[in-house]
Structure 1
Amino acid sequence: MHQDDFRFYKPCKLLQSYVRYYWAFKSNQRLNTLTFPIGCPQIIFHKQTPLYIPELNTTQDVLTISGQVNFSSHLYATGNTEMIVVVFHPHAMSMFLNIPTSLFYNQEVSGYSLENKSLNELAIRIFDCENNSICISYIEKWLLSQIDDNSANTTYRIERIDAAVQQIYITPQISVNELSSIACLSKKQFERLFHSFVGINPKEYTRIVRFQKALAQMQHQAGKEINQAQIAYTSGYADQSHFIREFKKFCGYTPLSLLKVSNPYSDLFTNPV
């Protein structure tokens, strides 16, 4: 798989608080790649062969909703892969699907099972279109139409959760009590809304952010000898052994063993556009 097979697209200004980026991938080669929890839900349109995920013993549908996951997984394809992916900010996908993101936790769900007529019509337009730039414009038009249909109250609640998420990025070891205070909600209200919008409970999400923050530091230290104690401290881990234990849980490798098989890359803390 070559970087040239990828193309990233930046969302329009009105969507940038909801969508991180879009990406398109096309290849006629066999695919076998390891992925890690990135902390962002996605909508995936497969224009050719969908991907198989052995850890879930499932093949993605041509229209797939991919929720928050807390484990590493392999992606397999036999060839003729072409896909367009919408990568949302952690809290934003439910704004467009009108159902809790928590329903997709550790799952790859067929978009057709949602019985969302406008989403199904969007998929038809994308599968009938060969120009990916035009496909992205179709996606953006659909996303904007969904914003128009949502209430101001929903937007207000999303903004509260977004404020908490932004603080987690800065201080991933922050407590749930502090996060609920930032969101101006009771702890119980905050946990309920966070789980609904982000798709995972706050404590588990902070663990994913710590992992991604560690990946980002390893990514930027490529070619150098990494200082595990320093990465542990900067990423918000209690100590080096906590860092190594948690890191292995999320990717199946210790930090040093991962360096022997791949180049660390943080999806959450890298902006490709």
Structure 2
Amino acid sequence: MSNALNLYSEHYVSVKSERFVNKIWCLDNFLGESLIENKLVLPNGCFNLAIVRGNAIEVHTSKKKYEMNEGVYFCSQMTNKVLVNIQPKTKVTIIQLHAWTLSMFPKYDLSDFTDSIIKIDTTELPFKINIQDAVDTTLQTVNCYFEELADLNSNRNSIEKVCEIIKSNEDEISVSEIVKTIHSSQRSIQIKFKSATGLTIKKYAQILKFRKSVDQMVNADLEKMNLTEIALYNKYFDQSHFIRKFKDVTKTTPKTFNPDSYFLSQKR
């Protein structure tokens, strides 16, 4: 796996676009001669738009196996780890969209769409994507479109507000408290949120909490911060509660977790 070091890269959008796009990341095995297999991706509360160039990428979600040949794919919210195999002569550029971004396009109902991937026609996209484009060109296209979207929608809708409240709260916050904050009916916001993201508000909050804990675990000097501290800092009841939730998503324990098997966010 000689090119594994250059396989994963992250590219950041403009400050204004960041309201809707988390980042763009690439898995580049375009010059590779061999299959890169059994790499893992963890859920993080984002949707992904994957642009596959070259041969193919194989993705195993908790629901099924997807063979993604050249083209553009929409990847739903993931609730469990995903296994990825990348064929030689293949490059994947992934536009990572925040959970609320799809709520800007109310014609999509994603209520029953999680752990799934669909191939889409590029003409369905609101911006023009060319599979052969370099990352810089894609970045430019994405910035151009989402900066304009931010200008046209200066007010945050209810889905974006819910996500912002969850993200900015250090302490756990109940759905009823969130609803009070945005002055909405609990039933109506629950339905809207599920339709826009495929997740319940509670599940979205759990995914964010889990991902924050893993990133902390990977980046922390474990001599200074042990599992119990990470668990309690992220509002798990205790260490065993954290381990149980960790196993639910990764099918392994924090002790046997190997960060090298995963594509994890780089520390910015």
**TM-score (normalizing by structure 1):** 0.81
Q: What is the identity percentage for the equivalent residue pairs of Structure 1 and Structure 2?
A: 19
Output the CA distance in 2 between the equivalents of 1:200 and 1:220. 28
Output the CA distance in 1 between the equivalents of 2:17 and 2:97. 10
Contact 1:39 1:209 in 2 (8 A): yes
Contact 1:94 1:100 in 2 (8 A): no
Contact 1:43 1:65 in 2 (8 A): yes
Write the mapping of 1:61-140 to structure 2, written as runs, cut at 5 A: 62-95=71-104, 98-112=107-121, 117-119=123-125, 122-123=128-129, 126-129=130-133, 131-140=134-143
Q: Does 1:48 align with 2:44?
A: no
The residue matched to 1:243 in structure 2 has which SS?
helix
The residue matched to 1:255 in structure 2 has which SS?
coil
Change (3 A) 1:47 1:103: farther
Change (3 A) 1:174 1:165: closer
The one-letter amino acid paired with 2:141 is: Y
Q: Does 1:60 align with 2:68?
A: yes
Q: Displacement of 1:14 after TM fit?
A: 2.6
Output the CA distance in 1 between the equivalents of 2:251 and 2:95. 26
Contact 1:41 1:87 in 2 (8 A): yes
Q: Displacement of 1:2 after TM fit?
A: 2.9
Q: Displacement of 1:104 after TM fit?
A: 3.3
1:123-167 CA-partner distances (Å, limit 9, x unpaired): 3xx2243x321232123334456667x7778x4334423333324
Output the CA distance in 1 between the equivalents of 2:111 and 2:90. 28
Q: Report which stretch shifted further, 182-191 or 34-43.
A: 182-191
1:23-49 CA-partner distances (Å, limit 9, x unpaired): 233112422202221211111111123
Q: Displacement of 1:187 after TM fit?
A: 1.3
Q: Report which stretch shifted further, 230-239 or 193-202.
A: 193-202
Output the CA distance in 1 between the equivalents of 2:154 and 2:74. 25
Contact 2:47 2:98 in 1 (8 A): yes
The residue matched to 2:101 in structure 1 has which SS?
coil
Contact 1:161 1:193 in 2 (8 A): no
Q: Displacement of 1:3 after TM fit?
A: 3.8
The residue matched to 1:257 in structure 2 has which SS?
coil
Structure 2: state its 5+ residue gaps.
none
The residue matched to 2:10 in structure 1 has which SS?
strand
The one-letter amino acid paired with 1:60 is: M
Q: Specify the alignment match of 2:163 in structure 1.
A: 162
Output the CA distance in 2 between the equivalents of 1:51 and 1:97. 30
Q: Displacement of 1:264 after TM fit?
A: 8.9
Contact 1:101 1:199 in 2 (8 A): yes
Q: Displacement of 1:265 after TM fit?
A: 7.3
Q: Displacement of 1:178 after TM fit?
A: 1.4
Contact 1:47 1:127 in 2 (8 A): yes
Q: Displacement of 1:101 after TM fit?
A: 4.2
**TM-score (normalizing by structure 2):** 0.82
The one-letter amino acid paired with 1:14 is: K
The one-letter amino acid paired with 2:167 is: Q
Structure 1: state its 5+ residue gaps.
none
Contact 2:79 2:207 in 1 (8 A): yes
Q: Displacement of 1:262 after TM fit?
A: 3.0
Change (3 A) 1:69 1:161: same
Output the CA distance in 2 between the equivalents of 1:223 and 1:4. 27
The one-letter amino acid paired with 2:195 is: S
Matched length? 259
The residue matched to 1:47 in structure 2 has which SS?
strand
Write the mapping of 1:235-250 to structure 2, written as runs, cut at 5 A: 235-250=234-249
Q: Specify the alignment match of 1:19 in structure 2.
A: 21
